Structure 1
Amino acid sequence: MKTYASERHPEIINALFSGQSEETDLSHTIKAMTCDDVVLPCHVSPPGDQSLASVEWGRPDLMPRFVYVWYNQREYLSDQNTAYRGRTSLFHDKLKDGDVSLKLSNVTHSDNGKYRCYSPRDKTEYFVELLVGSVSPPGFSLGGLDKSNSGVKLDCSSAGWFPEPEMFWLDGEGSIMSAGAAEKIRSPDGLYTVSSRVTVEKRHNNNITCRVQQKDINQTRETHFYVPGRKM
Structure 2
Amino acid sequence: MNKLSIGPQLRTTSVLVVHLLVMHCSRGQSKLIGSSQPIVATVGDDIILPCHLEPAVDVAAMTLEWSTSELDLRFVFVWRAGQELVKTKHPSYKGRTSLFTDELKQGNISLKLCKVKPADEGTYLCFIANLNKASLVELVVGAAASPVISLKEIEVIKGGVVLQCESKGWYPEPELLWLDTEGKILSAGPTETVRGPDDLYTVSSRVTVEKRHSNNITCRVKQSNINQIRETQIHVPDGLFDVLFSSLIVILSLGVGLAVSFMLIVFIVLWRIIKSKRRQREENYKMEVEKKSKHVNQLMTESQKLKKERQKSEDQIQQLENRIQELEKQLQAKNEKWFPWFRS
Q: Give the TM-score taking structure 1 as reference length.
A: 0.77
Query: Does the Cα contact within 8 Å between 1:116 and 1:127 map onto a contact in 2?
Result: yes
2:84 pairs with 1:85: no
8 Å CA contact 2:62, 2:129 repeated in 1: no
Do 1:29 and 1:129's aligned partners in 2 also have CA atoms closer than 8 Å? yes
Structure 2: stretches of 5+ with no match in the other structure: 1-19, 24-33, 246-344
Equivalence for 1:172: 181
- Residue aligned with 2:124, SS: strand
1: CA distance, partners of 2:186 / 2:112? 44
Tell me, in whole angstroms, the C-alpha distance in 2 between the residues paired with 1:212 and 1:202: 24
Displacement, 1:52? 4.2
Compared CA separation, residues 133 and 144, structure 1 to 2 (3 A): same
Give the structure 2 partner of residue 145 of structure 1. Answer: 154
Structure 1 unaligned residues grouped into runs of 5+: 1-20
Partner of 1:197 in structure 2? 206
Partner of 2:132: 123
Cα distance per residue 1:76-120 (max 9 Å; x no partner): 212112222222222234323322110111222232222111111
More strand by share: 1
- Larger relative contact order (Cα-Cα within 8 Å, sequence gap ≥ 6): 1
Q: Whole-Å Cα distance in 2 between the matches of residues 47 and 70 of structure 1?
A: 18
Q: Does structure 2 conserve the Cα–Cα contact (< 8 Å) formed by 1:38 and 1:107?
A: yes
Shift of 1:123: 1.6
**Residue equivalent to 2:84:** 75
SS at match of 1:57: strand
- Which 4+ residue blocks in structure 1 deviate beyond 3 angstroms? 23-28, 44-54, 145-149
Cα offset for 1:67?
0.9
Cα distance in 1 for partners of 2:231, 2:35 equals 36
**Which residue does 2:171 correspond to in 1?**
162
Aligned-partner Cα distance in 2 for 1:179–1:83? 40
Q: Which residue of 1 aligns with 2:224?
A: 215
Say yes or no: does 1:43 pair with 2:42: no
Q: Report the Cα distance in structure 2 between the residues aligned to 1:50 and 1:26, rounded to whole angstroms.
A: 19
Aligned residue number for residue 21 of structure 2: 22
Shift in Å, 1:26: 6.1
Structure number having the greater helix percentage: 2
Tell me the equivalent position of 1:104: 113
Instruction: Tell me how many residue pairs correspond in the alignment.
Output: 212
